Structure 1
């Protein structure tokens, strides 16, 4: 079986090109691409000049099985991912109970294979029950399929426990993903400190809390030599430390979320809880600095940080409301704001959303090169629409983009050459 995608606008994050061409898929893999005469194929897909890019690799997706299936299941998360052009979701272990045993990982893989039409790669907890007291059995968890280890937003406060976990992870070649934040300063806060938080009377945290958390982690990376990824860098204050760590040759990468690239602290406005995320939205200066860090490659990855919350946990006073937003379906159109605003090109966006995440996790996807899996997204970057949260395929509807004018529609998503989503 061969499939030829013709009349496509190929987005190649490896070469940094955005040009018309064709792409040939054979036996679920990318066989060739070019811009001249196209070869014959069993099936031909006319892309009508729309963009064809590698499928998005999204690190840090919360799927609420087990424990909170009413918020999100593997079926609904997989359908939402496919509708959003996400072909690989890397799931967080902050479930109830935490994904901290081989048995829990086997449950994740079994449910994902049964229900999700996209690739699902699970992360495991760094410490048992994400309590920060005793590290998990890394070796057994890696044998069961764990692709990385993280306690998510539960920052390990015991530095000795964290250093031992990093040392053990280094001996196994495992990747540790951490949430850089000083936990005492950030506890119980709902906004970033500044005039806006002061006027609204919101408990706030200084941007320095992120810098302090990152500084500690970098010191431990230097001490242990572990492979390390900071899940979200959201402030300008943290960027010089990250740059120094990379220049020193440490095995360190960093990501940020699409919400911190496209929204700022003023969007909270009249205590709108759909804009309450973790870390809290930052200043406009921070947002612009983080965008520039993505452009230069200092920040490696962009992710959705998809965090479903039900209506009951969001319809509360701002301080009491749960943090998080769904974003699997809004990641691509939100990223188009950065493209249409002239901040980032499409190859630069796909470098951060597909190629770099795949490289960090040791995956062959995230590229349109010969021999790569045919995980692809066909999309129209210019198509306008008004987002209606009730039309999202996620079970939870907590998106900050509800009712907003957006651009960028996914037309089709392919996993190993097979269509898993087509827009009507």
Structure 2
């Protein structure tokens, strides 16, 4: 066991309690045993290691519920260890990995494999999301109940929409019986087929195959109707368009058990950022119009969208150095999530405490985790951050095995100084 640790002289922001002010924290045995809403904790015993934060921001460790890795099956893209190292450097202390691996996470044995690998790595907390259907193929329901017992936090087919409404209804009904959440990407598969960009004047000028924004709303309306039918708790996986937000607001007004996420990429970029066919900005769903981006930012500010994810999706250079419409979509994001998020605080768009809530206690509460808060008895998963430190993102220096970051070259503010998981320092700048 490591010695007790005191973090003092910090700006403590804890969205779970709504506190933003001076603070200090005492850690022992992997948990928080005392919190003071003042710069220090008073007299401490000689065995306590004292870390003076020097006024730095102290927040709960980030909880990222949508992370892709290559393990098992595509380790050259990303391993669980390289993803965990990137997460620690980015202040992410808990991540949920997606099931569309090879083999897919569609049975208890693969869930157990992920959990055992995470324990062996001993960095950040890693949990699997289970496949909703066998092989994420959208045809036969996976072993949802057994995977839930084995430790998966929710079920999803990741980027692949479940087209058959009867299959999705069965998944929802079965998952509800086991208290499991269902996440689904809203994208009409026929309108989306072969698309590399969002439909509009820009994609037409670029000559890129495109998808209309309405494709998201069409599938979301179907999904919300099934939620109303089954009563299953549901995660809308990455809302990116203004039209879909209208459907979401209507569902929430009806009291449906729906939580929405969006990615930091769709908050930070629009379709113009594709520029001269910049494949680092090819994402799935594709980057949208500026009007859609502004609508999503407002939805986060209002609380209509409760959770922000990195949508970490590594792709090696050979999959990105291709013509734009042939390149693999996706971007790494574990290490850039926090500074990119803080940009909205520096711009005065969203209060700091609300931004931190969307990546800490909101996703933790959604998945039934004890983390995401700074309180007595809570896990000592914490991040010290210099809120105002300038950061220039250099994709080549990112820890992920893949370097496909749309933030490459962007100037941001906010540098992780130290990341603690269960009281252990897993990253120090």
Measured in 1, the distance between the counterparts of 2:49 and 2:248 equals 47
Structure-to-structure mapping, 1:395-414, within 5 angstroms: 395-414=401-420
Q: Of 388, 399, 410, which aligns to 1:393?
A: 399
Find out whether 1:157 has 2:159 as its counterpart.
no
Q: Deviations over 1:268-298 (max 9, x none)?
A: 0100000001100011111111111111110
Q: Deviations over 1:64-113 (max 9, x none)?
A: 11111001001100100000000000010010121111111121112222
Measured in 1, the distance between the counterparts of 2:281 and 2:254 equals 36
* Corresponding residue SS for 2:358: helix
Q: Which runs of 5+ in 1 are unaligned?
A: none
Contact 2:148 2:178 in 1 (8 A): no
Q: Deviations over 1:233-291 (max 9, x none)?
A: 01111111111111211111000000000111100010000000110001111111111
* Corresponding residue SS for 2:100: coil
Measured in 2, the distance between the counterparts of 1:103 and 1:2 equals 37
Measured in 2, the distance between the counterparts of 1:85 and 1:91 equals 16
- State the Cα distance separating 1:116 from its structure 2 match: 4.8
Partner residue in 2 for 1:100: 106
Partner residue in 1 for 2:273: 267
* Corresponding residue SS for 2:109: helix
- State the Cα distance separating 1:18 from its structure 2 match: 2.2
Partner residue in 2 for 1:80: 86
* Corresponding residue SS for 2:324: coil
Q: Of 38, 41, 45, which aligns to 1:38?
A: 41
Structure-to-structure mapping, 1:331-342, within 5 angstroms: 331-342=337-348
Contact 1:18 1:346 in 2 (8 A): no
User: So what's the TM-score if we normalise by structure 1?
Assistant: 0.98
Q: Of 188, 194, 203, which aligns to 1:197?
A: 203
Measured in 2, the distance between the counterparts of 1:186 and 1:285 equals 20
Find out whether 1:24 has 2:26 as its counterpart.
yes
Measured in 1, the distance between the counterparts of 2:363 and 2:18 equals 16
Find out whether 1:295 has 2:301 as its counterpart.
yes
After TM superposition, what 4+ stretches of structure 1 lie above 3 angstroms from structure 2?
none
User: So what's the TM-score if we normalise by structure 2?
Assistant: 0.97
Measured in 2, the distance between the counterparts of 1:16 and 1:255 equals 21
Partner residue in 2 for 1:129: 135
Q: Which runs of 5+ in 2 are unaligned?
A: none
Partner residue in 2 for 1:227: 233
Measured in 2, the distance between the counterparts of 1:403 and 1:358 equals 31
Deviates more, 1:56-65 or 1:402-411: 402-411
Q: Of 361, 364, 369, which aligns to 1:355?
A: 361
Q: Deviations over 1:8-28 (max 9, x none)?
A: 000111233321121222322
Measured in 1, the distance between the counterparts of 2:409 and 2:244 equals 33
- State the Cα distance separating 1:2 from its structure 2 match: 2.8
Measured in 2, the distance between the counterparts of 1:213 and 1:182 equals 5
* Corresponding residue SS for 1:149: strand
Q: Of 57, 61, 70, which aligns to 2:63?
A: 57
* Corresponding residue SS for 1:52: strand
- State the Cα distance separating 1:375 from its structure 2 match: 0.5
* Corresponding residue SS for 2:35: strand
- State the Cα distance separating 1:114 from its structure 2 match: 1.3
Structure-to-structure mapping, 1:251-330, within 5 angstroms: 251-330=257-336
Deviates more, 1:413-422 or 1:335-344: 335-344
- State the Cα distance separating 1:201 from its structure 2 match: 0.9
Give the number of aligned pairs.
423
* Corresponding residue SS for 1:379: strand
Partner residue in 2 for 1:377: 383
Measured in 2, the distance between the counterparts of 1:272 and 1:230 equals 28
Contact 1:386 1:403 in 2 (8 A): yes
Root-mean-square deviation (Å): 1.1
